[in-house]
Structure 1
């Protein structure tokens, strides 16, 4: 186990000095295999890389990313916010609540927190500021709700978790629905309270008819029904549903006359870049997991933990605290792919449900994208409001972070919310 921790320390050093995560993982594996098995052990790297990249389920990643990018570049995401805003704009804190609900809905077709923050933030934040909302509330509502894209299916981090742990992705998607809706509800309540306490006198929003508002959000609703509905109905696998979603987004944008050559090029380029990055990190993580398997670090760590006379909940709390601290310095994808292969055998040995733990982990990792200094959504939201300082964004996001912590505690006491 000492050798395994040595390789883990080397990996962390490489990441801290600025080596890209995928290269750091592969480089550490190369060094580790040379030390443990010599040159004859190196062919295992190519075999592992091929076995990882040829997984059929991974096809869902670029397809879901493409669907999200098409919705973003064609302005369909903007229509979604306008639709929700028209329905809720006249209630107290209506625009803040509308931005949270729009984040939740767009999260159901995006799968990433950063994508939600970029699309909804670009529309919602300037509109809220123009109507008199304080900058912390305007930016905090979007930043605080953007992690919902990691919990509400189809979540890309959940796909990665499912691949690494060999857990059913369809079951993970189903388990994320109720916690995601609960967080949405709590964030809406928090936003309404914050607006009331701030005595915001926002300019009323021009409301339209229910039919007009519904027609604006109809394309996104159709995609959600096609993607999530087909999975839950047993009609399609997550990969097949991703293909339906990607084609559906292109067809809807084309029918609406928004699909230009430039937008298609931009969407394809962004999708290829994101997918390539995720695949490189995933391959590196599986290589590093193979190295840890050789050193028997996960097995020995599990044995050491099981030999301790400590409550499993104490161990669980320590694991959650460790993940929270890691989230302050590392990106979510890297954390999941590096740590889950090490910690998952211990989780299973302690008797925790793999599906439940996957959702709890996603709720915890939702904090990682909004906690400084590496909280990516904080910087994305700040870019949507050039005159707002990062400190104001953090101040506005903090109350919503407590909603995630509250749901994390609720899931521990009522696990049936995720594994019903």
Structure 2
């Protein structure tokens, strides 16, 4: 197994696309194990994509792309700006609120950060915000999509780890609300460096924006209610979300064949990327199972660390460090089969563990040297990594503070799952 990991890391450092590095690393394992047949990698890759619970992923991705095409994003921006235009640095606060609202639409931190940078970046530059600050702000605002349903990361963790996706969604909301509040507080502290406020409080404008964006804002709440009442199971609720997105398009009178075509095209690309990753990770993951690595990790953590809280801190720190070189989706797919048994052996609540694990993995998207969200927002804003780091470190501290508070007070994550699902 060591040889396979060395091959994987070497190919990654040489710049090979991560999905091929994973696949080749898995193939090397089978080549070094004469007792395993070489037909197995193909069979395993196909079998990994035949998991019924993974049906939630393509349907949620399609629903997200449909809502982005059918006027939802524009209305959510109007809501966010109406709520913040009367405070200093209003567009900065609006970015956080939009990230929170968009989390219920995009489900992807990279998609959210990229969209917000394109949407708000030019106007923020015109208002006097620095490019490095804009890039960092939109990148970290995108983290909220990791917590707010329908988070693709939580769906992947729940599907692979056999954990209730509905309860993960509920737990993610608690963490998302906390993170949004801490980000808003951080931006308020930095407000002396931000442009002056542009207007005064306008209740009528806020009510109009909320009324116009009502069906978009309602989406995450409907997901939880239908899952809690048993109207849909997770594999079905994604399909219901697609129908809901189409109905929203009809209500907003923005439904057209051209927009549906673009949404389908983008969804095929996104689903293909995620499915290919899952398939290749299944090949490498089989080697981990064959070598009994999950059991070894569990025995090590249980034998060496008696306190589950200390073990959880050690795991999260390792994920934050690993996130500096690996994509979060890859980490979730590869590490969930290893870490879920370890968390179970330590007596850590799997919903609580999953929400924190997925967020820790996602923070790596914004850290050098390999941060996909970081490179995306810096490219869009035309700023260097040094400027991004210099302007964005307070937001990084805010994201870590969110994790620390959730570690100290587990009810931040567990309150809603216990109330809604009577755990």
Q: Which moved more, 1:290-299 or 1:270-279?
A: 290-299
Q: Match for 2:227 among 216, 231, 236?
A: 231
Q: Aligned pair 1:25/2:25, yes or no?
A: no
Q: Please report how far the alpha carbon of residue 37 of structure 1 lies from its aligned counterpart in structure 2 after TM superposition.
A: 4.1
The reply to whether residue 70 of structure 1 matches residue 66 of structure 2 is: yes
Instruction: Tell me the TM-score normalized by structure 2.
Output: 0.89
Deviation at 1:327, TM superposition (A): 1.0
1:153 equivalent to 2:149? Answer yes
Range with greater deviation from structure 2 (207-216 or 98-107): 207-216
Deviation at 1:180, TM superposition (A): 0.7
1:330 pairs with 2:326: yes
Match 1:11 to one of 8, 12, 17: 8
- How far is 1:47 from its partner? 4.2
Assess if the C-alpha contact under 8 Å between 2:65 and 2:263 holds in 1. Answer: yes
Give TM-score scaled by structure 1 length: 0.90
- Structure 1 position 149, deviation (Å): 0.6
Q: Pick from 274, 292, 296 the counterpart of residue 296 of structure 1.
A: 292
Note the C-alpha offset of 1:199.
Answer: 5.6
Unaligned stretches of 5+ residues in structure 1: none
1:88 aligns with 2:84: yes
Measured against aligned partners, the alpha-carbon deviations of 1:391-412 in whole angstroms (never above 9, x if no partner) come to: 3333332212212211211122
Q: Retained in 1: the 8 A contact 2:320–2:363?
A: yes
Give the corresponding residue for 1:163: 159
Separation (CA, whole Å) in 2 of partners of 1:29 and 1:246: 35
- CA spacing shift, 1:349–1:148, aligned 2, 3 Å: same
Q: 1:75, 1:101 → 2: CA distance?
A: 17
Which stretch has the larger CA shift, 238-247 or 270-279? 238-247
Task: Note if contact 1:81-1:120 (Cα within 8 Å) is conserved in structure 2.
Answer: no
Deviations 1:239-292 (A, max 9, x none): 222112122212322443323333222211111111111011112222222221
1:268 maps onto 2:260 in alignment: no
- Match in the other structure for 1:403: 398
Change (3 A) 1:188 1:8: same
The structural deviation recorded for 1:206 is 9.5
Q: CA deviation at 1:384?
A: 4.0
Alignment-derived partner of residue 200 in structure 1 = 195
Whether 2:277 is the aligned partner of 1:281: answer yes
Kindly indicate whether residue 342 of structure 2 is the aligned counterpart of residue 346 of structure 1. Answer: yes
Mapping 1:362-381, distance limit 5 Å: 362-381=358-377
1:310 shift after superposition: 6.2
Instruction: Name the CA distance, whole Å, in 1 between partners of 2:264 and 2:65.
Output: 8
Counterpart position of 1:358 = 354
User: Which residue number corresponds to residue 244 of structure 2?
Assistant: 248
- Superposition deviation, residue 111 in structure 1: 0.9
Change (3 A) 1:308 1:29: same
CA separation of 1:210 and 1:204: change in aligned 2, threshold 3 A: closer
**1:191 counterpart = 2:187:** yes
User: Residues 282 and 327 (structure 1 numbering): CA distance in 2 closer, same or farther, change over 3 Å?
Assistant: same
Aligned with 1:257: secondary structure? coil
Unaligned runs of 5+ in 2: 416-423
Question: For the residues of structure 1 that align with 2:118 and 2:341, how far apart are their CA atoms?
Answer: 42
User: In the alignment, is the contact (CA less than 8 A) between 1:382 and 1:390 conserved in 2?
Assistant: yes
Structure 2 partner of 1:113: 109
Where 1:36 maps in the other structure, the secondary structure is coil
Specify the SS of the correspondent of 1:369.
helix
Provide, for residues 357-414 of structure 1, a one-character-per-residue CA deviation record: whole Å limited to 9, x for no partner: 111112212311111222222233234434x444333333221221221121112221
Match of 2:418 in 1: none
Structure 1 runs (4+) deviating above 6 angstroms are: none
**Cα deviation digits, residues 21-75 of structure 1 (max 9, x gap):** 333333333332343244x634443443343222222111111111222222344
Offset from partner CA, 1:207-259 (integer Å, 9 cap, x none): 55333211332231243333333123332122222112122212322443323
Using the TM superposition, give the Cα deviation of residue 112 of structure 1 relative to its aligned residue in structure 2, in angstroms. 0.5
